[in-house]
Amino acid sequence: MAASDSYVETEVKVRVPGGADAARALIERQGYPLMDARTLESDQLFDRNGELRQGGRILRLRKIGHRAIATYKGPALSETEPGQRYKQREEVEFDVSNADAFERMLDRLGYVPRFRYEKFRTKFATPGEPGVVSIDETPIGVFLELEGRPAWIDRTAAQLGLSPTEYLTISYGSLYQEYRRAHPTAPEDMIFA
């Protein structure tokens, strides 16, 4: 996506019990070439008195090395359609040249840090195909994320031996809340030790 474009993101996550090496072998066996090498992504969500979360929206600042990307995500569209098996929502994002100044601006507007999460992400994509397969290594496990058109997601999942019954459409924040209910001593943020 080009900087400052808005589009409807369509994605699913699938938990991979065999770990990152198994996920990578599965993807490479199917011939998906590497697009972006394994990179740490550190995401910080911001909110003002819970108004974004209550409306199903997010405001995120992602840091990848020296790069920073601001993202707005609208409410999930899939929740309004019965039987929808993909997470779909409006996404607007752009590069931020000065992450510290951006955070100060958010603070002045009343937006404060709410939840931080990290993952090591590796991306694969076949040129000319309308989607990306990512391996997300998180503190709570390994996930594949399939992002693209619904037909591409289903076709790619089938090629990888995955079933639509395995699709997850909840956020990492929600997955981590579930994890913390089972592990009450886990830290508030989903970050690597």
pLDDT tens, position by position, 68-113: 999 999 998 855 455 578 999 999 999 999 999 999 999 999 999 9
Question: What pLDDT is stored for residue 78 in this prediction?
Answer: 55
Give the CA distances from residue 106 to residues 28, 51, 60, 109, in Å, rounded to whole numbers and listed in that order: 41, 14, 11, 5
Split at pLDDT 50, 70, 90, the class of 3 is: very low
Which tokens is 177 given?
């809340």
- CA–CA distance, 27 with 37 (Å, rounded to integer): 14
**Does residue 136 contact residue 143 with C-beta atoms inside 8 Å?**
yes
Question: What pLDDT is stored for residue 5 in this prediction?
Answer: 60
Q: What is the pLDDT of residues 121-148, one digit of tens each?
A: 999 999 999 999 999 999 999 999 999 9
Question: What pLDDT is stored for residue 193 in this prediction?
Answer: 87
pLDDT at 36 over 80: yes
For residue 141, list its beta bridge partners.
138
Taken in order of first residue, the domains within the chain and their CATH numbers are: 6-182 (2.40.320.10)
- CA–CA distance, 139 with 118 (Å, rounded to integer): 8
Count the alpha carbons within 13 Å of 84 in the hemisphere toward its beta carbon: 17
Question: What pLDDT is stored for residue 7 in this prediction?
Answer: 86
Give the CA distances from residue 137 to residues 64, 112, 191, in Å, rounded to whole numbers and listed in that order: 15, 26, 11
Strands 87-96 and 141-148: unpaired
Who contacts 90 (Cβ-Cβ below 8 Å, separation ≥6)? 6, 7, 8, 9, 72, 73, 74, 77
Q: Percent of the chain beyond pLDDT 90?
A: 90
Q: Is the pTM of this model over 0.75?
A: yes
Burial of residue 126, with CB atoms counted within 10 A of its CB: 0-12 exposed, 13-18 middle, 19 or more buried = middle
Mean pLDDT of 165-189: 96
Give the CA distances from residue 100 to residues 4, 106, 107, 123, in Å, rounded to whole numbers and listed in that order: 19, 10, 11, 27
Q: How far from chain centre, in Å, is Cα 135?
A: 10
Mean pLDDT, rounded, of the chain: 93
Which long-range contacts (C-beta less than 8 Å, at least 24 apart) are formed by 65-68? Answer: 65/39, 65/40, 67/95, 68/95, 68/96, 68/97, 68/98, 68/99, 68/102
**Does residue 59 contact residue 111 with C-beta atoms inside 8 Å?**
yes
Q: What is the pLDDT of residues 55-66, one digit of tens each?
A: 999 999 999 999
